Amino acid sequence: MRVGSIYRKYFRNNLFIKIILLFSVITIVTIIAFSYLMFRSMSATVINRELDNQKKAMESINNNITSKHDSVNAMIEGLYRDSSLSAGMTYFLTHSYPEYVQHNLEMYDPNTSRVGSEVLQYFKNKLEDDTDISNLILYSADQQSLYAYNHNKLLKFYNTDSVHTYIPDAMALEGGSITLPNGWIRKVIQQWDTHLYSVRMQINDRQSYTNIGQLVVYYNSDSIWKALADDKDELKGRILVLTNEGGVLFDSLGRMYGKVYPNMDKIDSFYESSELVQNTYVTKLTQSKGGVVVLGMISAEEMAQSYRGLRNTILTISAICIFVAIVIPSLFVIRFAKRTNEIIRFTHKVKKGDLSARIHNPKEDELGQISHSFNEMLDELNQYIDQVYKADIKQKESELTALQARINPHFLYNTLEVIRMRAISHGAQDVSEMIYSLSALFRSFVQQKTIYLLKDELEACRLYLELFRIRYKDKFSYVIECDSELGRKRFLRMSLQPIIENYIVHGLRSERTDNQITIKAMRFDKGIRVQIIDNGNGIAEDRLGTIKQMLSPDAPEGESFGLRSVNERIKLLYGSEYGIQIESNPGVGTSVNIWLPSIEDKESYDV
């Protein structure tokens, strides 16, 4: 029971608590939604930046490996461009080493002190030029032998015939130009460093274009870090360089050198762009020359660490904004509620009969104006009570009810609809249109509102005039002018139609072809002015005087019931300063002005 009373007192019957709660909910939801969207946007920016950094590093690695491939290719092209070197290389790879030495001695030139071709010196110079080369190996397919330079630039000869090793078979089967070092060659030259990758090129005879051997260069994989010198500290995730067979040539984490990547079968399904696969952002870059794949991977968890600080900042700022956005308006609303409760307290005093109560509120804001108006109302109320105003109000209400009860056309609507459908079935389209307009007009009559919008009244007039436009065809026209804003003002129902009906009955001249009535709605200082102008018969001067007399408040009932009833309704509802004014010239036309106050459609008006 206590909980229910607390709810009724502080929630259900407390508008300001509802306002605070509603505002708080809207504020919290808005700030949370905005913070979430901002976090999503900024975190996406961070993710894209990290992926761009990784892709930039991958491109640097790719360029580094491509440059090594091009360097080895340039060694071969350098041989082919020099006929002496090319011939010497052919002889070197197709003969034994003693025969090659003997051949060079025979080619000795005393004038230049040159001993035949300088093939070995050529490769030794290349080895000296590139410190990233760990081993440079020349393989003779004809002699099935290896000549290997180590990192100390020492040349060693190894017999690798098929009887003792599988190197000839391995050299014949290997496909890609960039691979992991062959295990048999490692064993022969005793090179077990796992941080190596191999670049292999075919050597052909310049004359016959037949393969006579191969050039194999082992590069230190750690040299790839040189390409990442600027990005090494900012680099996140992992970068792998893989052969077509899945061999790991480079691993930025240093865990899989010389091993086979286990998920090589899934790499082909990746696009050449970043995508999220199993909570890991994967970027693939394929090198066309060497046939290797550069693979970048960043786990979603590691990526989240990049914007964790951003998330905490947004949460903190959002919490502060929610606190400020709720507390400050709440303090203002609470202060406003106290002043409102004071007004309510005084209204309760008045309700109990204390008409001497007055609200002391010196401020000029809305509540201050309400307080001043309340005090003024009490002053006027005391005067009205003295003049027996309550009895006068009841009498006017009775008169208003009697006036409005004279028209109730609802029973005609269904009958007119049946007649209209009958006219359509017999092809009488003009009759159907007239009945439709009349039916719509009666439908507006059925509405029980005493006061409705100006646009509703103008629409009823249009329907009524449309009936006679169809009847008289080209002999009659009408014009209705009213802007949309003015059309939303409150207006008396059935206040214009009796005036229009007077014109149709008494003013329209059927022998003329230029009959016209114009309805204009316009503003004036205190409200709305509706002017109805026609070019009909007009009203004789004596008759006009009689009509004006009938529009006076104390005139007895007689003819011109329509005009008189409209005028009385306006004055009863809005006061004697509003009403109807009529002017006419015989043979020229009549002008009727209706004056009403300007009341918005959302306002109410009580007698």
Q: Judge whether 239 and 252 are in contact, CB under 8 Å.
A: yes
Q: Where along the chain do the CATH 3.30.565.10 domains lie?
A: 400-597
3-state per-residue secondary structure call for 127-138:
HHHCCCEEEEEE
| pLDDT (0 to 100) of residue 283 | 85
Q: What is the DSSP letter of 521?
A: E
Dist CA 12 CA 4 (whole Å): 10
Tokens of 457: 């009244």
Which one of 3.40.50.1820, 2.160.20.60, 3.30.200.20, 3.30.565.10 gives the CATH number of domain 400-597? 3.30.565.10
- pLDDT score of 176: 59
* Residue 358 pLDDT: 78
pLDDT score at 330: 81
Residue type, 133: I
Q: What is the DSSP string of 438-460?
A: HHHHHHHHH---SEEEHHHHHHH
Contacts of 13 (CB under 8 A, 6+ apart): none
Distance in angstroms (rounded) separating the CA atoms of residues 103 and 423: 124
Rounded distance between C-alpha atoms, residue 289 and residue 506, angstroms = 102
Nearest to 494 by CA among 543, 438, 450: 450
- Please give the single-letter amino acid code of residue 79: L
Q: Report the Cα 203 to chain-centroid distance in Å.
A: 62
DSSP string covering 587-605, please? TTEEEEEEEEE--BTT---
The whole-angstrom separation of Cα 532 and Cα 100 is 125
Per-residue buried b or exposed e for 97-135, using 16+ beta carbons within 10 Å of the residue's own CB = eeebeebbeeeeeeeeeeebbbbbebbbebbeebebbbb
Q: What's the per-residue H, E or C state across 57-123? A: HHHHHHHHHHHHHHHHHHHHHHHHHCHHHHHHHHHHHHCCHHHHHHHHHHCEECCCCEECCCHHHHH
Instruction: Show the low-confidence residues of the chain (pLDDT under 50).
Output: 1, 113, 116, 390-391, 394-395, 398, 402, 405-408, 410, 604-607
Using DSSP's 3-state secondary structure scheme, residue 40 falls into helix
Q: How many CB atoms lie within 10 A of CB 280?
A: 16
414: Cβ contacts below 8 Å, ≥ 6 apart? none
CB 547 within 8 A of CB 513: no
Q: Report which residue type is found at 116.
A: G
Ramachandran angles phi, psi of 206, nearest 5°:
-65, -30
The Cβ-side half-sphere exposure at 408, using a 13 Å CA radius, reads: 8
CB 373 within 8 A of CB 379: no
Give the tens place of pLDDT for each residue, 24-33.
889 889 999 9
